[in-house]
Amino acid sequence: MKLPSLLLISVIVLGYLQVGVFADDTDLSNSEENSEGLLAEGARLISQISLKSKTQGYDILKQATLNEDPQAQTLLAYGHILGRGLERNFTRAFEIFTELADKGSASGQQGLGLMYSLGTGVNSNQAKAVLNYVFAALGGDHFAQMIMGYRSLMGIGVVQSCESALLYYYKAAKKVVSESSHITGGQMVSKIRIMTEEESGSVYAVSEDEMIQYHQVFADSGNAGAQMMIGMFYMLGSGGVQKSYQMALKFFQQAAKDGVPAAFTMIGKMYAEGSEDLPRDYSTAKTYFQRAIDMRNGDGFSGMGMLYLHGMGVEMSYTKALHYFQQALDRGSAEGQYYIGYMNFNGFGLPRDQGKALRYFQLASHGGHLRAMYSLGEMNAEGIGVKRNCNYAVELFKSVSERGHWTRMFTEADKLYTNGDIDDALMIFFIAAELGVEEAESNVAFILEQDEQALVEKNETLKRALLYWNRAAAQGYAEARVKLGDYYYYGQGTSVNYEVAAHQYRMASDKQTCAQAMFNLGYMYQEGLGLEKDFHLAKRFYDMASETSAEAIFPVKLALFKLNFMYYQESYKHILYLQSTLGDLNLLLGPNWDVYLISLLTGTLVMVFIWRRNNIN
């Protein structure tokens, strides 16, 4: 049976989906069975970060296309776009996508939409992009559903509509949940902002070889925290490594020897689920869950509860499941919170109570539990146990859909950027940004404004960067909003417009309490740029900036020093102006004009006094 097209689309862009292993001595015939083997092995190899593996994978996929396999063709087309292990050739990619789209392929239509939207290999045409995306989404393409959900939410090329966004994002989120394990959980998410990463000096992406080296180092050093982290990478197939329960087991066992309670829980989960390299064993899973429970680990309790809830290796018992979930809940376990909500919602061992289910789903979703977010989204979308809320439902489904397999692309893109492969990293971020991922939009804008890439013409880079900063800002990223203000302040990618700059800074200040935006507003009030000069408001915003961020205290002190100097300078100017005015009166009325004025005022007061006295009498 062929791999589902949707999963393969995930592989092409992020290159990380695990598939079967192809033996070197397989007969490379044109049989359907062999074609599937070629396809599986090619997809597996291009899923790795190693350039050598990707090259080998694409060579194998070229053989698979002898049968005109649409999935292999899709992988090759994206390979020509990404340019890793295969020559970047937008023209060839467009030809392949066109051929697939003409045959009614949803992945082909999605690929065409992407190229028309980005203007890669063809002139940018948003109308054609949307048309292809819509057909691809209707055909079940996961990426297209996310793209159209985002465009509908933000009104990009289509009429803004929460209901349309809800429809698209619901389908995409449902797919992600269906592919996630209810035992080991969903995909690990590392959506990195390059701008923030460079400031902190962090590096997240590692290669398979580096991970093996770390294995030896950590095995000798006994760093339990690092062992747990790498174990999670292997268990979920994240961090640049292939999914391997055996490798994960080694790291978790090392951490377990050091008495880490969570390690016992993770081992129990892997045995409860099973995999190709670790046979399912409910008895062993129960043993490890019990050891985690003995150490009072919350997720250990929820693991045991799952066994009884689903009758895995034990007699199904809602009563016992509820007991363990309650213990997990008392220890702050997001899994425990989710399953208590699940049992309340379905009436399993408890009276059906949608209100309680909603509350527990909310608690678990705050802890990042994938299925809790999805369940909460369904309840808000349909008005179950709560007043219907389209916007909140879309927000939840969007968060769920952004935790699919494709998220692994961030690991590779970050690694490429760190290694100086700017164009390759930018291309991946372009695709992720098309999906509506704010972090990817920010990364695209940041890379473009560094002027180190060759994919976008020099005279267009700042305009494109402005576009992506605008999209990131619309999704609530405060730093992107400040960037927008800077672009309009300095006239980067647009004309200078102090009024618009001040508006952007004010939005970042009022809605997101951004210290930088407050400082900038203070300066604009101080100088009268786009705002009426007002020293008092300038001081107010400077003070707000220092109160919001400790990093702003010193710059604010310097700014206030200058502000005070300007204030006294302005006051001195008023005095000089008054003296100048008095000098003009001397010339006009003579040197004794002030005596005449005082006499006139005195006479007037005397007359008023006499008049008031006569009237009183």
C-beta of residue 122 within 8 angstroms of C-beta of residue 115: yes
Residue with tokens 């389908």: 171
Q: What is the pLDDT of residue 17?
A: 33
Alpha helices in 513-552 (DSSP H): 515-527, 535-548
Cβ proximity of 336 and 360 under 8 Å? no
In whole angstroms, what is the distance from residue 249 CA to residue 255 CA?
Answer: 10
- Per-residue confidence (pLDDT) for residue 584, from 0 to 100: 54
Residue 91 lies in a domain: yes
Dist. CA 60–CA 54, nearest whole Å: 10
Cα–Cα dist 194/415, whole Å: 11
pLDDT at residue 13 in the model: 41
The rounded distance, in Å, linking the Cα atoms of 434 and 276 is 34
How buried is residue 464: exposed, middle or buried, by Cβ count under 10 Å (0-12/13-18/19+)? buried
10 Å CB burial of residue 208 (0-12, 13-18, 19+) is: middle
Token digits for 610?
A: 């006499």
In terms of residue numbers, what domain contains 124? 5-179
| Closest listed residue to residue 246, CA positions, set 284, 278, 288 | 278
Low-confidence ranges of the chain (pLDDT < 50): 1-31, 201-208, 582, 585, 592-595, 597
Measure the CA–CA gap between 532 and 519, rounded to whole angstroms.
Answer: 16
Asked if residues 409 and 428 have their Cβ atoms less than 8 Å apart, the reply is yes
Q: Provide the token pair at 64.
A: 């698979």
- Other CB atoms within a 10 A radius of the CB of residue 253 amount to 15
Output the pLDDT for position 312. Answer: 96
Residues 588, 595: Cα–Cα separation, whole Å: 14
Length of the chain: 617
Place of tokens 């978790």: 252
Q: Nearest 5°: phi and psi at 404? A: -80, -175
Task: Check if the beta carbon of residue 157 is closer than 8 Å to that of residue 127.
Answer: yes
Contact by Cβ (8 Å): 41, 22 = yes
Q: Tell me what percent of the chain is helix, strand and coil, each rounded to the nearest 5.
A: 75, 0, 25
Note the pLDDT of residue 575. 54
Helix axes 224-236, 261-273, angle to 10 degrees: 20
Q: What is the pLDDT of residue 22?
A: 30
Distance from C-alpha of 69 to C-alpha of 60, rounded to nearest angstrom: 12
In a domain, 13, yes or no: yes
Residues 6+ apart with CB under 8 A from 506: 517, 521
Alpha helices in 123-274 (DSSP H): 126-138, 142-154, 162-179, 194-200, 208-221, 224-236, 245-257, 261-273
Reduced to 3 states, what is the DSSP secondary structure of residue 521? helix
Return the pLDDT at 198: 59
Q: List pLDDT tens digits, range 216-273.
A: 566 556 788 888 888 888 888 776 677 889 999 999 999 999 899 999 999 999 999 9
Candidates 127, 132, 115; CA nearest to 158 is 127
The residue to which tokens 């006239």 are assigned: 491
Taking the C-alpha atoms of residue 552 and residue 254, their distance in angstroms, rounded to an integer, is 45
Q: How far apart are CA 119 and CA 475, in angstroms?
A: 23
Q: How many CB atoms lie within 10 A of CB 216?
A: 9
Q: Residue 108 maps to which CATH number?
A: 1.25.40.10
Distance CA 286, CA 74 (A): 43
Of the CA atoms within 13 Å of residue 505, those in its CB half-sphere come to 27
Q: Are 154 and 471 in contact (CB under 8 A)?
A: yes
The Cα 8–Cα 427 span in angstroms is: 18
The total of structural domains in the chain comes to 1
Instruction: Find all residues with CB under 8 Å of 280, minimum gap 6, and list them.
Output: 271, 272, 273, 274
Does 172 reside within a domain? yes
The pLDDT of residue 11:
37
Q: Hey, is 39 helix, strand or coil?
A: helix
The set of residues, in sequence order, having a beta carbon less than 8 Å from that of 284 and lying 6+ positions away, is 268, 271
Residue 183 phi, psi dihedral angles, 5° rounding: -100, -60
Rounded to the nearest 10 degrees, how much is the dihedral formed by the CA atoms of 319, 325, 331, 333? 180
Q: What does DSSP assign to residue 459?
A: G
Answer whether residue 126 is part of any domain.
Answer: yes
Question: Among 393, 530, 432, which Cα is nearest to 10's?
Answer: 432
CA distance 335 to 328: 8
Is 535 contained in some domain? no
Q: Among 277, 208, 198, 255, which residue's Cα sits nearest to residue 447?
A: 198
Domain assignment of residue 32, yes or no: yes
Cβ atoms of residues 463 and 217 within 8 Å: no
220 in a domain, yes or no? no
